[in-house]
Structure 1
Amino acid sequence: MLQIHDLSFVPFITSTEIEEAIAKVAQQINKDYTHKTPLFLGVLNGAYAFTAALTKKITGNCEVEFTKLKSYAGTTSTGNIQNLIGVGNLKGKDVIVVEDIVDTGNTISEIVKILEAEEVASYRIATLCYKPEAYKKSYKIDYIGLEIPNKFIVGYGLDYDGLGRNLPEIYQLK
C-alpha cells in the first residue's frame, strides 16, 4: 500500500505491463507512420513519462513538442480546462497527441480545438490509460495502451496533488 497526502493507494498496473502497453502503441504508430514524420504533442505534466518512453520506440523520424493544460483539482476533474503552455507552429504537421490518461475527454476536446485552429494536416490521439466508462466525447482515441475502470490512479506521470508522478508503476485509490 502507498500513502500520498491523505489517501491510500494499492498496486494496480506493473511496470512490465506499462512497458508492454507502450510497445503495443509504438508498434501501431510505426506501422501507420512508415513514410511520415509525426509530431508528438505531449500533454504536460502527466504525459512526460509516456511521451519519452513512446518516442524512444519510434523507428522513423519524429518531432516532439509539449503543451500544458490543467483540468484536475485533487481527485476530480473540474470540467474547466486551463491552457498553461501553448504550442508552437503546427500548421501542416501530422500530430499525435500523447495523453497520460483519457477519462471525461474534456482535455482532448480543448486540444482538438487548438489543432483545428493551427490547421494541422492530421491528428490522432494516443493515451497510456483510457477510461471508457468516463469518456463523454465523440473524438476517436486512436492508440490505447490500457483500458482501465473509472478509478483514480497515480504513478508513471499521473499525480495526486503533485505527488506520485515518479512512481514506475501505477496505483489505484484504495
Structure 2
Amino acid sequence: MNNDIERIIYSKQQIDQRVQELADELNHDYAGKKNVVVVAVLTGAIMFATDLYKKLDLYAHIDFVDVSSYQGGTSSTGSVKLLHDLKNDIAGKDVIICEDIVDTGRTLKFLTDLLKDRGANSIKICSIFDKPAGRAVDVSADYVGFDVPNEFLVGYGLDYQGLYRNLPYIGVLKPEVYKRNS
C-alpha cells in the first residue's frame, strides 16, 4: 500500500498531536455539559472518532451514522444517502459530529439539517481534515485538525474503494492507482 502513495501530507505523530489538541478544545468548550453525543460518521471517521473519544474528559455518549455521497468513486455524486441511522434520540442533546473530511460539504449539510430537525440542542462539527477547495455548499467545521490540498487523499480513515483507510498517516494517492481503475 505504501508504494501507492505519492507523498505523505501529515504523519501519524502530527495527527496524534492534533487529535489531542482538538480533544483539549472540546473538553474546555463542553465542560460541565451532561448531554453530549459524539456522532461518528462511518466509515471514514471511525479512526479519528475513536482516537478523539478516548481523549474526551466529558460525560459523552457515542453513536454512529453512515452517510455517503461518493459510493466508491473518486468524486462526490452530489446525492447524499443515509445508509445507517443513529440508534439513540438526540433531542435536547449537544451533538458533536465527528467527520474525517469536509470536502464538498454536502454530507455535513444533509446531516446537520437532519439532526436539527430531530431537535438537537446544539450541533458542532469536528473534522480532522478540511478541504476548502472542494466545497460545493456553504458549510464549515467548528473544529478542524488540518487543512488539506485539493488532491486525492487516503489514510487515517480516508479511502479509495474501501482501501487505504488503515494507513496511520494521510497521503496523496498516486493518480495512476485510481486512473487504472476508472
Distance 1:41 1:162 in 2: 21
Distance 1:9 1:84 in 2: 32
> Is 1:111 aligned with 2:108?
no
Summarize the alignment of residues 9-158 of structure 1 with structure 2, pairs less than 5 Å apart.
Answer: 9-37=6-34, 38-72=36-70, 73-87=72-86, 88-158=88-158
TM-score (norm 2): 0.89
**Residue correspondences, number:** 171
Return the offset for 1:3.
4.7
Give SS of 2:50's match: helix
Distance 1:51 1:100 in 2: 8
Instruction: Work out the percentage of aligned pairs sharing the same amino acid.
Output: 37
TM-score (norm 1): 0.92
Distance 2:63 2:145 in 1: 20
Bigger share in strand: 1
Distance 1:3 1:86 in 2: 36
Distance 2:6 2:140 in 1: 30
Return the offset for 1:134.
1.6
Distance 2:137 2:115 in 1: 16
Distance 2:40 2:31 in 1: 20
- Unaligned runs of at least 5 residues, structure 1: none
* Cα separation, partners in 2 of 1:52 and 1:65, compared to 1, 3 Å: same
Question: What is the letter of the counterpart of residue 43 of structure 1?
Answer: V
Give SS of 1:67's match: strand
Return the offset for 1:148.
1.0
1:35-61 Cα shifts (integer Å, max 9, x gaps): 113210000000000000001111121
Q: Given that residues 2 and 10 in structure 1 are in contact (C-alpha distance below 8 angstroms), is that contact kept between their aligned partners in structure 2? A: no
Bigger share in helix: 2
Bigger shift: residues 154-163 or 128-137: 128-137
Distance 1:46 1:81 in 2: 15
Return the offset for 1:108.
0.5
Q: Given that residues 127 and 143 in structure 1 are in contact (C-alpha distance below 8 angstroms), is that contact kept between their aligned partners in structure 2? A: yes
- Unaligned runs of at least 5 residues, structure 2: 175-182
